[in-house]
Structure 1
């Protein structure tokens, strides 16, 4: 896994919850769904900058804690009548360890 960097263990991210990872690209929220799927998206809602890692995870989506905007965790796209998108980042889980694509560590924050 030379192109991946370990960022933690699966059990460190609660079911239907998230944890935040600081990277050169900014804060990234790593989510774990009830089905143990893991996703990573930027931790800033494009609407008013809400911390998505503090939002409610439901199915494959997260709801921003500030104004209830909903984002698809796989695509980063806003759902329903909301508009916008957050960046998504590649993650991989191997033997209970979570890896993020190494390229994220080389990105500069925008």
Structure 2
């Protein structure tokens, strides 16, 4: 388990990148208030996924518009999958892991 930062640091509908245990993780605060955490680096050309467009289901890489499911990490556009991480809020803090 890793505490990444305060929930309030991520506005609704946006993402932020955190580094934990040598991995770069993008954490998204969806418009419904839920959180999703996935690999922060696009497997295609290394784009910053936390800067991508999101809805309640997918993130779209800002470089080449490839999309991934935020719950499963599966590509919606024929690219390799990305990692999905368990994430939750504990006392206003974003916690990665079970």
**TM-score with structure 2 setting the length:** 0.89
* Equivalent position to 1:86, from 75, 82, 85: 82
| Equivalent pair of 2:2/2:20 in contact (CA under 8 Å) | no
The structure with more radius of gyration: 1
Matches of 2:33 and 2:71, distance apart in 1: 14
**1:8 counterpart = 2:14:** no
Q: Can you give the 5+ residue segments of structure 2 that lack an aligned partner in the other structure?
A: none
Question: Paired residue for 2:19?
Answer: 22
RMSD: 1.5
Q: Can you give the 5+ residue segments of structure 1 that lack an aligned partner in the other structure?
A: 103-110
List structure 1 segments (4+ residues) > 4 angstroms apart after TM superposition.
Answer: none
Matches of 2:95 and 2:20, distance apart in 1: 13
**TM-score with structure 1 setting the length:** 0.80
What secondary structure does 1:62 align onto?
Answer: strand
| TM-fit CA distance, 1:97 | 2.1
Equivalent residues in 2 for 1:25-36, closer than 5 Å: 25-36=22-33
| Equivalent pair of 2:16/2:28 in contact (CA under 8 Å) | yes
Aligned residues: 98
